Amino acid sequence: MISNALSLMIAVPLLGAVIAFLTRSRAQARIVALIASLIPLLLSLQMYMEFDKSSKLMQFVESYAWVPTLGIKYTLGVDGIGFPLVLLSTIVSTLVIIYAWGEDKRPNQFFALLLLNEVGVLGVFVALDFFLFYIFWEIVLLPMYFLIGIWGGPRKDYSAIKFFIYTHVASLVMLLAIFALYFTYQMPDGSRTFDMLTLLQATADKAIFPTGLLNIIFAGLLFGFLVKMPAFPFHSWLPDAHVEAPTAGSVVLAALLLKMGGYGIFRVIVPMLPHVDKIFVTIIAVIAVLSILWGAFMALSQKDIKKLVAYSSVSHMGFVTLGAVAFTWLSIQGAMFQQFSHGIITCVLFMSAGTIQHSAGTRVISELGGLADRMPKFAFIIMAGFLASLGLPGMSGFVAEFMVLTGSFATLPVYTMIVVFLSIAITAAYHLWAVQKVMFGPILKKYINVHDPHAYELFSMSMIILLTLIFGLQPSLMTDIMGTAAYQLMEPVKTLAQMGVI
Amino acid sequence: MVDIAYYAPLWGEALLTLLAVLIILFGSLMKGGKIWGYLSVAGLAAALALVMSSKTGTVFFFDTLSVDVISQFFKAVFLVVSLLVVIASLSRYTAKGSDEYYSLILLATVGMMVVASSVDLVTLFVGFELASLSTYALAAFDKSKRNLEAAMKYFIFGSVSSAMMLFGFSLLYGMAGSTRIADIANTALSSFGPATLVALLFVIAGFGFKMALVPFHMWAPDTYEGAPPLVSALLAAGSKKMGFAAAFRVIIVALLALRLEWYLAFAILAAITMTLGNLVACWQNNVRRILAYSSIAQAGYISIAFVVVGAASAMPNGQSIAQLGIAGGLLLILGHALMKTGAFIGTAQVASMVGSTGGNDPDDISNYAGLGRRAPITAFCMLIFMFALAGIPPTAGYIGKFVLFSSAIYSNLVWLAVLAILNSALSLYYYLRIVSYMYLKEPAGPRMPEPMGYAAALVLTLIAVLWIGIFPQGFIDWAMQAAAVLLPK
């Protein structure tokens, strides 16, 4: 086992980002980026082999004093909640760099930003100290702002600033809630701490955190995470950001950045849920159902295929919220699996939208038609991607949503039935309608010269389809870890000190 | 016989005074060229080393100059700012008259250092005037029309504020029978009825001008916009912090008994200052005006420290809350001094390049289009300073805001903390506007040369801003110790 594997996993892309930024040519930049993203991928695969799937404790823990005066530590560690997302981040980051192999506008900065993004996202998933967590949480905003702002579409300035300010406000509200946690809880020796697990464990103690105070803190944290997810009605930054972002930016935005919100729900919100006012369960459940339905209906009404995919993200992330708040073993497990599954499926959807834009010059669904005739390989992949997204059995999306709905029915039957009756048909409808119009039917004359995309684009997309199939047919590769994590979430939080790891 | 070693903690001031006089003297006799700049750099660096290594805890000159942790903290801030400004000036001020420029900067620095150490109102005022008079002259140093307007405004407002401050001091002297801060703190001021309020009002107004708190801020944007850009750096980052150094001593220590009165006043001033500063900054097109309003907003944030001290006094563990609040204010002062110096040096570099090729307003934001490719070092440093000013981690600006806003939550000032973070988010709009001009727009001209002096100052500032952000431990401890000096034992 490599010591300090998590720190190494963050440091390598950071170093890679600096080197890539300083390179002079595209060839150098992309090679650096590929190497700097492959190393974390290999590390995370190695960690997967070593990961103890039955343990409810933090693993690969590192902890060093950082600012002892304020009780800040550099603490990293992963458990069943964080590890699947670490794996997702390393996989997606590598594949998106391969997909963007042909980027020719300021390639050194482009690849450096993709690597910086990986740094931030990985940091969020492994940080166990609120101070550190918040730093990574904010660092992620920078590369995405530039990815949208420099390589974006016509309204890039507006979208980039809206994305940055909207999500920054949410982060700041979350930060105030973290301050309140920090100042309310005092360690037995009188000092204070930003340690996430210690603070979360303390929230169970009514003597320290009276319900009224905890409700306010909870609401602040929840707001921070729901905006990031994004959940209805805080999602309005997402379609703008997605439509204007370059393909690679959209991919990491949907596949990784949204997962940060979901991760926050599992890491912070779910352990606090039993101790806050019960009204929050209803509020979150309503938000979840509205996100699923609103996302699906909005997707149905879109003219731009990329915007359609963006709204489908809102809808699919709603399942994560629903599964988490339903608070049964199966639903939590399903919600975690939905995070992973949506993370990979959405990659292929956004990559497809990018490829269509690139080949046909437009993303407007009504202007496209019959592309399958000239792009047979691509047609196969996009078909597989859309079917995976709508929940075709045998692919990972089906398993995740099935688990969420089955698990949620036990505690939230009404909400679950609303979702089942209203959203499933619509989800199928917008996926099938879009892919049918774009790819099939007689080919339009103006598209007679289009051809299959580059091999590297096809490679990225087909790898993801392969992963979707693997995890669809053999979900236990991931769900074993998540099942343990779901059990762990339904018990009181165990701090690192109690685990005996520090 | 004077025991020179006894005065070792004040050698820094002595060295700079001597150097300033020598530079003026020899400057009038010989052509020095670049030598005056390099001498000043060496002098300031030596003074910084002396200040950092000096023993604290002694009071000199009949209880007027105290060398303690907080005075050394502020002196270090002033010296670092002056040092960076002088390094950047190396490639700008080399011709005839540069001896005056450097000696004025040195004298201004000495004035600020005296203010940082003063525990007596008269000494404090003398230090204030030394720094002010030197900077009045500096503000008009390039003798352009805009310089003169800026300097005139600065001079008039500065004199009025000095007069107000002095009037407040005279009332305090009348009540306490002494100008020593410790004596005033021990006087039962409230027995003097309305006179105390008048004194408080004048003192706050006098300091308010220096700190550029709304509604005493009108001079700042015009002066920062019109003065030579490097002098603006000194004014915004150095001389403005002198106002805080004085206010910390006079208001928190001397007038502690009146905390209920000034607590409310500063709560209102802080809230209005940060909101107005940020709102107005959004509409500006001149980068130096944006920075000026941003520095007004930052003064509003820093004032939260006073509110926290006032609010904490009524709480059971008030001492530790007040300490955290002051420490937060000090950290933000340190961070802001660095970030603002860097940002103004950046504008100086752009203005010197654009101005030389013609064009209307050298500070107009359109000149920053595509700066990322025209002047990569300047643009990258400016980028980090903008994010640091907005409070994005891991930078010095973030650490300051982190400690300060958390102390506001600690003292139950939730409304103020919420207002402060909303302002922080609002400020992102105009900082991002500069960033988007620099990196998202197509270049407005060919690649610019980046002179050594500017580049060196920018890169040093950049390193300091990131260093404080990533390794804040030492700085937080330092600020906490400094804060402890101000609080009653």
Interface of B with A (CB under 8 A): 387, 392-394, 402-403, 405-406, 409-410, 414, 417-418, 421-422, 424-425, 428-429, 432-433, 436, 439-440, 472-473, 476-477, 480
Q: Where are the alpha helices (DSSP H) in A127-236?
A: 130-139, 141-151, 156-184, 196-202, 211-228
Contact residues on chain B for A173, CB-CB shorter than 8 A: 421
Which of A136, A165, A172, A213 has the highest number of chain B CBs within 10 A, making it the mutation to test binding with B?
A: A172
For residues A383 and A380, what is the distance between their CA atoms, to the nearest angstrom?
Answer: 5
Could you tell me how far CA A24 lies from the centroid of its own chain? Answer: 32
Average pLDDT over residues B304-332: 91
Distance CA B23, CA B32 (A): 9
Contacts of A70 in chain B (CB under 8 A): 403, 476
Q: How far apart are CA B45 and CA B109, in angstroms?
A: 12
Give which of A229, A230, A203 is closest to A218, Cα–Cα.
Answer: A203
Name the residue type at position A473. L
> From residue B295, how far is each of A85, B3, B265, B332, B479 by CA, in Å?
41, 43, 20, 11, 21
Cis, peptide link before residue A233, omega less than 30° from 0? yes
pLDDT value of position A442? 84
Instruction: Report the residue of A69, A113, A162 to disrupt the B interface, i.e. the one with the largest count of B CBs within 10 Å.
Output: A69
Q: How far apart are the first and last CA of chain B?
A: 36
Given a cut of 60, whether residue B1 has pLDDT beyond it is no
pLDDT tens digits, residue range B184-213?
988 877 788 888 889 999 999 999 998 999
Mutate one of A116, A161, A193 to test the B interface: name it (highest B CB count within 10 A): A161
Q: What is the pLDDT of residue A437?
A: 87
Whether B168 and B203 have beta carbons less than 8 Å apart is answered as: yes
Instruction: State residue A55's pLDDT score.
Output: 84
Question: Which of B49, B57, B101, B103 minimizes the C-alpha distance to B75?
Answer: B49
Give residue B116's pLDDT band: very low, low, confident or very high (50, 70, 90).
very high
Mean pLDDT of chain B: 90
Would you write out chain A's pLDDT as a tens digit for each of its 502 residues?
Answer: 677 889 999 999 999 999 999 998 888 999 999 999 999 999 999 999 988 888 888 889 999 999 998 999 999 999 889 999 999 999 999 999 999 998 888 889 999 999 999 999 999 999 999 999 999 999 999 999 999 999 988 888 899 999 999 999 999 999 999 999 999 998 888 889 999 999 998 888 888 889 889 999 999 999 999 999 888 888 889 988 988 999 999 999 999 999 999 999 999 999 998 888 889 999 999 999 999 999 999 999 998 999 999 999 999 999 999 999 988 889 999 999 999 999 999 999 999 999 988 888 888 888 888 888 888 898 899 999 999 998 888 899 899 999 999 999 888 888 888 888 888 889 999 999 998 888 888 888 888 888 888 889 999 999 999 999 999 999 998 888 898 888 888 887 777 777 766 5
Q: What is the ipTM of this complex?
A: 0.92
Domain boundaries, given as residue ranges, for chain B: 258-489
Mutate which of B386, B405, B409 to test chain A, going by most A C-beta atoms within 10 A? B409
Do A134 and B393 make contact, defined as CB atoms within 8 angstroms?
Answer: yes
CA atoms of A305 and A352, how far apart (whole Å): 9
Residues 6+ apart with CB under 8 A from A227: A166, A167, A169, A170, A234, A237, A261
- A26 domain residue, yes or no: yes
The tens digit of pLDDT for each residue in B121-158 reads: 999 999 999 999 999 999 998 888 888 999 999 999 99
Contacts of A218 (CB under 8 A, 6+ apart): A177, A269, A272, A276, A280
Q: What confidence score (pLDDT) does residue B19 get?
A: 94
- Tell me the per-residue pLDDT of B8-32, one tens digit each, with 9 for 90 and over: 888 899 999 999 999 999 888 887 7
Cβ distance A138 to B428 less than 8 Å, yes or no, reads: no
- Please tell me which of the candidates B387, B432, B473 has its beta carbon nearest to residue A68: B473
pLDDT, average across residues B426-430: 93
Q: Is the pLDDT of residue B159 over 80?
A: yes
What are the chain B neighbours of A160 within 8 Å (beta carbons)? 432, 436, 440
Q: Which residues of chain A have a CB within 8 Å of the CB of B402?
A: 131
The predicted model gives B104-128 an average pLDDT of: 94
Is A179–B405 a contact, with Cβ atoms under 8 angstroms apart?
yes
Query: Percent helix, strand, coil in chain B (nearest 5)?
Result: 80, 0, 20
Q: What is the pLDDT of residues B238-290, one digit of tens each?
A: 889 999 999 999 999 888 888 888 888 999 999 999 999 999 999 999 999 99
The answer to whether the CB atoms of B476 and A179 lie below 8 A apart is no
What percentage of residues in chain B have a pLDDT greater than 70?
99
Cβ atoms < 10 Å from Cβ of B31: 9
Structure tokens at B290: 């944006």
Alpha-helical segments (H) within A303-412: 305-326, 329-360, 376-390, 396-409
Residue reference for tokens 């999306």: A397
The chain A residue lying nearest B398, using CA atoms, is A135
**pLDDT number for residue B122:** 93
Min distance B440 CA to chain A CA atoms (Å): 5
A110 reaches B (C-beta below 8 A): no
The rounded distance, in Å, linking the Cα atoms of B82 and B76 is 10
Q: Is the pLDDT of residue B61 over 90?
A: no
* pLDDT at residue B419, as a whole number: 94
Beta bridge partners of B60: B65
Q: Do B439 and A157 touch (CB under 8 A)?
A: no
C-alpha distance from A48 to closest chain B C-alpha (Å): 31
Distances (CA, A) of A18 to A100, A111, A254, B383: 18, 10, 25, 16
- For chain B, say whether A135 makes contact (Cβ under 8 Å): yes
Any domain includes A188: yes
Q: How far is B484 from chain A (nearest CA, A)?
A: 14
CA of A98 to nearest chain B CA: how many angstroms apart? Answer: 25
Chain B CB contacts of A179 under 8 Å are 405-406, 409-410, 417
Residue B167 has pLDDT above 90, yes or no: yes
Question: Of B428, B429, B467, B481, which to mutate for an interface test with A (greatest number of A Cβ within 10 Å)?
Answer: B428
For residue A268, give the nearest of A196, A170, A193, A182 by alpha carbon. Answer: A196
Q: In A, which residues are within 8 Å of B392 by CB distance?
A: 138, 141-142
Establish if A500 belongs to a structural domain: no
Taking an 8 Å cut-off on Cβ atoms, the answer to whether B406 and A66 are in contact is no
Say how many domains are in chain A: 1
According to the model, what pLDDT value does residue A85 have?
94
A179: closest chain B residue by CA: B406
DSSP conformation letters of A234-276: S-THHHHHHHHS-HHHHHHIIIIIHHHHHHHIIIIIHHHGGGS
* Cβ <8 Å between B472 and A176: no
- Is A183 within 8 Å of B410 when comparing Cβ atoms? yes
Whole domain around residue A211: which residue ranges?
A: 5-495
B62 contacts B16 by C-beta, under 8 angstroms: no
Contacts of B394 in chain A (CB under 8 A): 135, 139
CB contact under 8 A, B409 and A179: yes
Model confidence pLDDT, tens digit, residues B71-82: 999 999 999 999
pLDDT value of residue B359: 58
Residue A218 lies in a domain: yes
Task: Say how many C-beta atoms besides its own lie within 10 A of residue B379's C-beta.
Answer: 25
User: What's the rounded Cα separation, in Å, for the pair A263 and B152?
Assistant: 57
The model's pTM: 0.93
- A477 to chain B, any CB pair closer than 8 A? The answer is no
Count of CB atoms situated within 10 Å of the CB of A265: 29
pLDDT at A500: 66
Assess whether pLDDT exceeds 60 at residue B358: no
Looking at residue B356, its pLDDT comes to 59
A21 has a chain B CB within 8 A of its CB: no
Nearest chain A Cα to B370, which residue? Answer: A150
Which residue of chain B comes nearest to A68, CA vs CA? B473
Q: List, as ranges, residues 169-208 from A with C-beta within 8 Å of B.
A: 169, 172-173, 175-176, 179-180, 182-183
